[in-house]
Chains A and B, each alone.
Chain A
Amino acid sequence: SQQGEEDPQALSIQEGENATMNCSYKTSINNLQWYRQNSGRGLVHLILIRSNEREKHSGRLRVTLDTSKKSSSLLITASRAADTASYFCATDMNSGYSTLTFGKGTMLLVSP
């Protein structure tokens, strides 16, 4: 069943601008992950944030998690044309070898 819902569905920005994507979910989670998918390719893991964390950084990526609102955001700073891709959040209700539930994704287009 669909757990995560990304917002917006699509986003078009200019190079150098920041891109913010949001994800909302319905049930309690152990951790939340963000993945990136280039067109016609598999997904690449970007960042994982645990339920007891509020913010995490990785390079130009900043992820926040608000468990009280059941939402997360992914911020890409100083975007580049190469950041053009679809971005998915995925919720993990249990640690260990449980499956992830993916949202519908946000398509990001960064124009030069």
Chain B
Amino acid sequence: GAVVSQHPSWVICKSGTSVKIECRSLDFQATTMFWYRQFPKQSLMLMATSNEGSKATYEQGVEKDKFLINHASLTLSTLTVTSAHPEDSSFYICSARGTGVFSPLHFGNGTRLTVT
């Protein structure tokens, strides 16, 4: 089946630094990828929709300058958390929609970000 690889699995960084998270579709092309944030024991909150070759569409309340998204190819989207602060600590998950009208989302395994 379709596989989405997310890297890194976890990262600890100092406040003020930037962190890049990669999301790759391994065996299919994904023109659209989605980035979510999940707080402990909570649902997934959609942050933005990443579109290959164009600007990402951000959800209300998500700072586009804070969370930079780049979707440079049909198999790779990156999320960069810029000038990270402790409140950015969270679990970030990417997903990509497979081909086909009723295709489900395929998720990466998530990235646990801890900002100290």
Footprint of B on A, CB under 8 Å? 2, 31, 33, 35, 40-45, 48, 50, 88, 90, 95-97, 99-100, 102-105, 107
Contact = CB atoms under 8 A, between A and B. Distances in A.
B93 interface: yes
SS class of chain B's interface: helix, strand, loop or mixed?
strand
Contacts of B97: 97
B78 interface: no
Contacts, number: 52
Contact of A102 (B43, B49, B101): B43
B7 interface: no
Contact of A43 (B42, B93, B102): B93
B18 to A, nearest CB: 23
B112 A42 contact: no
18 contacts: A33-B104, A40-B91, A40-B110, A41-B109, A42-B6, A42-B95, A42-B107, A42-B108, A48-B102, A88-B43, A90-B105, A95-B101, A95-B102, A97-B97, A100-B105, A102-B43, A102-B44, A103-B43
